[in-house]
């Protein structure tokens, strides 16, 4: 197929392997002098390339706008724009195709695509933690391996059968049939992760299953491709040389490139930007690795793959499947975290401290963002009184924000297997878990520490932890307050942690405790020192959770618990908004009062066997007087506990959250106790909230002691 010589092309043809060959005269510059010099810009490579980029962006944005009602991913819109502009669309018009895609530009377009794909493969590696993801994919390995092998086997068999019937020259080679089967069988991890992130499913259970399955799928594909290339090398000598070349290149990546990357990490201070020379070196390293892999006869993309454990681009059928299926997923699948919709589970029970038997294991989830919170969390766990009759099992979770990775994960830590990996990849996590391990070995009672690391965006961190709490039947989750200023978190991080705490409170189906410990004052070196706990009890399910935890603490010898109960005297037959109460509201208040009295009776019964228990009943007229009284109750407390939600007299939490800075997270009383108005803000505060907004019929399951509470309810 000859072309006119005005654009520098001599002729274009396909060789025996159907590779495109373009012969051009290399006697013209890349850029055009301009149309004002009576020159055609489309005869030059640079103007044509810029025009292609411009038209593609305009067309992809247009498709994104038109397909927005069916929620089509942006990736699919970009691909559709490429199809429309290419030979299968407008390219059917030969005049248009020769102008916008001249044969002279073919070499440049191929080179640009190779460089772009190499960098794309490398960028994908920054979003992946292969070792961690594969380790977490053990429960779902069947979903990644079986579908791939079955699809690969069926496609290869059908291609072989078709070749026998039709004798198609393109699929006579077994290697061609193998690569066709591979390209039509595997799931492309970057596409899967990108679509899941766009649909906000990345941190859900279905998203984790999809990510792990696609990861296993692609890893299996790498091995099959390598085996096929060794087989296709010809005789034994060539196969051995090809295999040895692969191994040498792999060793070069492991023993030279990898140590260089570690050196960059070690020489870069934590929290500081990487030096510009390192960034430039890494970007050039992608091209160097691609060049080396091409020189030794491997795929040009194998270098970037081994540099960052990435993957090359996928096949066309993945694009078609994603384009067809993804809009229906977006329309039909509504993200429903199972902790947000407990009614779908007929056996749903809110886990709380009150309904946890005193002679069983007490399970706690503690979440930490940095090492400064370790001391306070350990002191709080120790105060919860681990004994042989009721040992404590603490799930310690280090919350790490994703930095470039696209696959969030909640991973249990096994020091026997992952000691070296943890110390290198997650040094802060390693330090935190070592501190808890040392505490477990030297604790005064039976303590079991189960370490986890949760790597996710702040927007999704709560989902995996709430699911873990539901699966492990955990009654208490303890999270740090976002204004704990042990470490300068910065405005963005502190705001993200505040939103995370709010999501915990709204989604968790167990009790959530927010620990306010601004100067890391909670904790002591001597476990036998008196630990003074103050509980401010106004009434309601959240206060009952604080009191139930205080009852457990009061059984410890060195813990002194002081209960301050506020009795409001201005309650009448009218509601808090001035209207008369309905029968249902009166019955609900009676039940609430019975539950309050039953737990108070249980606490009073401790006084007969413990000298470290004292309680005070304070009569107040309304909620404002409660605030005034609390200010006067300053004392030498090591910890103060209070519930978050209240609705007493003329003081309504819901109405005042807009006027008080942290009332939405801590409640009115919790915010005041954590402020400088109480003990000049130097006392740690634990604000509890019972999970979920439950109906009256569920409240009977949250009674503290079955014997005492049932007796009170029958009076």
- For residue 109, count other CB atoms closer than 10 A to its CB: 16
* Among the listed residues 370, 362, 365, the one whose alpha carbon sits nearest the alpha carbon of residue 412: 365
- For residue 338, count other CB atoms closer than 10 A to its CB: 18
Return d(Cα 200, Cα 460) in angstroms, integer.
9
The whole-number pLDDT of residue 218 equals: 72
The whole-number pLDDT of residue 257 equals: 82
Token digits for 358? Answer: 């005193």
Return d(Cα 85, Cα 544) in angstroms, integer.
66
The whole-number pLDDT of residue 393 equals: 93
DSSP 292-326: HHHHTTS-TTHHHHHHHT------HHHHHHHHHHH
The pLDDT tens digits of the residues spanning 35-87 come to 666 677 777 778 888 888 888 889 988 998 898 888 787 778 888 888 888 88
> Is 656 exposed, middle or buried, given 0-12, 13-18 or 19+ CB atoms closer than 10 A?
middle
Q: Which residues of the chain have pLDDT under 50?
A: 1-6, 310-334, 341-346, 486-488, 573-574, 576-577, 693-715
The whole-number pLDDT of residue 311 equals: 38
The whole-number pLDDT of residue 200 equals: 67
Return d(Cα 63, Cα 80) in angstroms, integer.
8
The domain spans of the chain are 5-121, 137-325, 363-509, 526-715
Return d(Cα 694, Cα 697) in angstroms, integer.
8
Residues 6+ apart with CB under 8 A from 344: 336, 338
* 363-509 matches 526-715 in fold: yes
Contact 591, 696 (CB under 8 A): yes
Where does 363-509 sit in CATH, by number?
3.40.50
Return d(Cα 95, Cα 81) in angstroms, integer.
19
Fold held by 526-715 = Rossmann fold (3.40.50)
DSSP class of 282:
H
The whole-number pLDDT of residue 296 equals: 76
**Rg from Cα positions in the chain:** 33
* Among the listed residues 625, 631, 663, the one whose alpha carbon sits nearest the alpha carbon of residue 646: 663
The whole-number pLDDT of residue 16 equals: 52
The whole-number pLDDT of residue 407 equals: 62
Return d(Cα 539, Cα 595) in angstroms, integer.
9
pTM reported for the whole predicted model? 0.61
Return d(Cα 204, Cα 209) in angstroms, integer.
9
């Amino acid at each position: 197929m000859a072309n006119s010589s005005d654009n520098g092309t001599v002729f274009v043809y396909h060789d025996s392997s159907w590779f495109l060959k373009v012969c051009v005269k290399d006697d013209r510059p890349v850029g055009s002098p301009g149309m004002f010099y009576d020159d055609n810009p489309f005869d030059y490579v640079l103007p044509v390339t810029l025009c292609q980029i411009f038209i593609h962006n305009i067309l992809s944005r247009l498709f994104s706008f038109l397909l927005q009602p069916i929620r089509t991913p942006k990736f699919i819109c970009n691909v559709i724009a490429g199809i429309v502009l290419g030979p299968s669309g407008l390219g059917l018009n030969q005049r248009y195709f020769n102008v916008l895609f001249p044969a002279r530009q073919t070499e440049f377009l191929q080179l640009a695509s190779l460089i772009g794909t190499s960098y794309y493969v490398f960028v994908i590696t920054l979003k992946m933690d292969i070792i961690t993801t594969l380790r977490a994919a053990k429960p779902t390995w069947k979903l990644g391996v079986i579908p791939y092998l079955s699809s690969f086997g069926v496609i290869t068999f059908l291609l072989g059968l078709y070749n026998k019937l039709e004798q198609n020259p393109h699929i006579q080679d077994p290697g061609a049939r193998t690569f066709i089967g591979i390209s039509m069988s595997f799931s492309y991890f970057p596409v899967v992760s990108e679509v899941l992130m766009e649909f906000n499913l990345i941190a859900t259970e279905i998203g984790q299953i999809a990510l792990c399955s696609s990861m296993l799928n692609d890893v299996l594909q790498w091995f099959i491709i390598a085996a096929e290339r060794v087989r296709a090398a010809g005789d034994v000598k060539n196969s051995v040389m090809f295999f040895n070349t692969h191994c040498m290149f792999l060793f070069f990546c492991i023993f030279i490139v990898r140590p260089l990357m570690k050196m960059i990490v070690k020489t870069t201070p934590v929290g500081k930007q990487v030096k510009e020379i390192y960034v430039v070196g890494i970007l050039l390293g992608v091209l160097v690795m691609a060049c080396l892999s091409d020189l030794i006869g491997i795929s040009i993309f194998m270098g970037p793959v081994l540099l960052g454990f990435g993957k090359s681009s996928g096949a066309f059928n993945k694009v078609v499947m994603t384009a067809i299926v993804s809009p229906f997923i977006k329309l039909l699948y509504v993200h429903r975290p199972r902790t947000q919709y407990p009614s779908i589970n007929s056996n749903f029970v809110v886990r709380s401290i009150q309904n946890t038997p005193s002679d069983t294991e007490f399970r706690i989830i503690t979440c930490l963002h940095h090492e400064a919170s370790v001391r306070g969390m350990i002191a709080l766990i120790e105060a919860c009184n681990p004994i042989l009759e009721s040992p404590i099992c603490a799930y310690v979770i280090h919350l790490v924000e994703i930095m470039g990775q696209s696959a969030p994960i909640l991973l249990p830590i096994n020091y026997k297997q992952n000691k070296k990996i943890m110390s290198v990849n997650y040094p802060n996590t390693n330090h935190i878990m070592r501190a808890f391990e040392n505490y477990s070995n030297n604790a005064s009672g039976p303590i079991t520490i189960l370490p986890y690391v949760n790597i996710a965006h702040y927007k999704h961190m709560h989902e995996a932890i709430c699911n873990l709490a539901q699966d492990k039947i955990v009654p208490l989750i303890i999270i740090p307050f976002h204004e704990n200023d042990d470490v300068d978190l910065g405005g963005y991080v502190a705001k993200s942690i505040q939103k995370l705490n709010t999501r915990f409170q709204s989604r968790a189906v167990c009790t959530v405790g927010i620990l306010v410990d601004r100067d890391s004052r909670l904790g002591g070196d001597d476990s036998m020192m008196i630990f003074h706990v103050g509980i401010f009890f106004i009434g309601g399910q959240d206060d009952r959770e604080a009191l139930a935890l205080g009852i457990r603490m009061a059984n410890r010898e060195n813990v002194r618990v002081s209960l301050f109960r506020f009795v409001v005297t201005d309650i009448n037959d009218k509601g808090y908004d001035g209207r008369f109460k309905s029968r249902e509201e009166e019955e609900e208040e009676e039940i609430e009062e019975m539950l309050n009295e039953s737990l108070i009776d249980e606490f009073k019964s401790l006084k007969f066997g413990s000298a470290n228990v004292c309680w005070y009943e304070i009569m107040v007229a309304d909620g404002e007087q409660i605030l005034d009284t609390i200010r006067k109750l300053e004392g030498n407390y090591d910890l103060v506990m209070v519930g978050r939600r209240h609705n007493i007299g003329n003081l309504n939490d819901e109405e005042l959250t807009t006027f008080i800075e942290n009332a939405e997270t801590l409640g009115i009383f919790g915010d005041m106790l954590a402020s400088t108005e109480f003990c000049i803000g130097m006392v740690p505060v634990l604000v509890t909230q019972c999970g979920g907004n439950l109906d009256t019929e569920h409240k009977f399951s949250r009674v503290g002691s079955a014997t005492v509470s049932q007796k009170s309810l029958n009076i």
